[in-house]
Structure 1
Amino acid sequence: MTHDTTDTAHDTVKTIAITGASSGIGEATALRLAADGHRVLLGARREDRLERLAARIGAAGGTAVFQRLDVTDAADVRAFVARARSAFGRLDVLVNNAGVMPLSPLAALRTDEWDTMIDVNVRGVLHGIAAALPVMRAQGGGHVVNIASVGAHEVSPTAAVYCATKFAVRAISEGLRQESAGDIRVTVVSPGVTESELADHIGDSTARRAMVAYRAVALAASAVADAIAYAVSQPARVDVNEVIVRPSPAAR
Structure 2
Amino acid sequence: MSNRIEGKVVVITGASSGLGESTARHLSSLGATVVLGARRKERLDALVEELTAAGGKAVAYATDVTRQADVQALIQGALDSFGRVDVLINNAGLMAIAPMSETKVEEWDRMIDINIKGLLYGVAAVLPVFERQNAGHLINIASVAGIKVFSPGGTVYSGTKYAVRAITEGLRHELGGAVRTTIISPGAVDSELKYGSSHDASAKNVVEFYKQAISADSVARAIAYAIEQPADVDINEVVLRPTVQEF
**Cα pair distance change 1:195/1:12, threshold 3 Å:** closer
What percent of counterpart residues are identical? 49
- C-alpha contact (below 8 Å) 2:15/2:21 kept by paired residues: yes
1:106 paired to 2:100: yes
Q: Which residue of 1 aligns with 2:43?
A: 49
- Looking at structure 1, the residues matched to 73 and 130 of structure 2 have their Cα atoms a distance apart, in angstroms, of 15
Q: Secondary structure at the match of 2:139?
A: strand
Q: Which residue of 2 aligns with 1:184?
A: 179
- Looking at structure 1, the residues matched to 153 and 176 of structure 2 have their Cα atoms a distance apart, in angstroms, of 39
The worse-fitting range, judged by mean Cα deviation, of 85-94 and 196-205 is 196-205
1:244 paired to 2:239: yes
Q: Which amino acid aligns with 2:160?
A: T
1:120 paired to 2:114: yes
Q: How many angstroms does 1:76 deviate by? A: 1.1
Q: How many angstroms does 1:11 deviate by? A: 5.7
Unaligned runs of 5+ in 2: none
Q: Which residue of 1 aligns with 2:80?
A: 86
Q: Which residue of 2 aligns with 1:174?
A: 169
Q: Which amino acid aligns with 2:13?
A: T
Deviating beyond 2 angstroms after TM superposition, the runs of 4 or more aligned structure 1 residues are none
Alignment of 1:17-96 (within 5 A): 17-96=11-90
Q: Which residue of 1 aligns with 2:228?
A: 233
Q: How many angstroms does 1:201 deviate by? A: 2.6
Q: Which amino acid aligns with 2:90?
A: N
Unaligned runs of 5+ in 1: 1-7
Q: Secondary structure at the match of 1:239?
A: coil
Alignment of 1:214-229 (within 5 A): 214-229=209-224
1:140 paired to 2:131: no
Listed one character per residue, the Cα deviations across residues 163-218 of structure 1 (whole Å, up to 9, x for unaligned) are: 00000000000000000131110000001001011122311012112113211200
- Looking at structure 2, the residues matched to 14 and 216 of structure 1 have their Cα atoms a distance apart, in angstroms, of 35
- Looking at structure 1, the residues matched to 126 and 207 of structure 2 have their Cα atoms a distance apart, in angstroms, of 37
Q: Secondary structure at the match of 1:104?
A: coil
- Looking at structure 1, the residues matched to 20 and 175 of structure 2 have their Cα atoms a distance apart, in angstroms, of 25
Listed one character per residue, the Cα deviations across residues 125-178 of structure 1 (whole Å, up to 9, x for unaligned) are: 100000000001101110000000110101121000000000000000000000
- C-alpha contact (below 8 Å) 1:95/1:147 kept by paired residues: yes
Listed one character per residue, the Cα deviations across residues 97-146 of structure 1 (whole Å, up to 9, x for unaligned) are: 00011111100011000000000000011000000000011011100000
- C-alpha contact (below 8 Å) 2:92/2:114 kept by paired residues: yes
Q: Which residue of 2 aligns with 1:3?
A: none
Q: Which residue of 1 aligns with 2:192?
A: 197
Q: Secondary structure at the match of 1:95?
A: strand
- Aligned-residue Cα RMSD (Å) equals 1.4
- C-alpha contact (below 8 Å) 1:14/1:38 kept by paired residues: yes
**Cα pair distance change 1:200/1:9, threshold 3 Å:** closer
- C-alpha contact (below 8 Å) 1:9/1:236 kept by paired residues: no
Q: Which amino acid aligns with 1:120?
A: I
- Looking at structure 2, the residues matched to 20 and 128 of structure 1 have their Cα atoms a distance apart, in angstroms, of 12
Q: Which amino acid aligns with 2:147?
A: H
- Looking at structure 1, the residues matched to 217 and 3 of structure 2 have their Cα atoms a distance apart, in angstroms, of 24
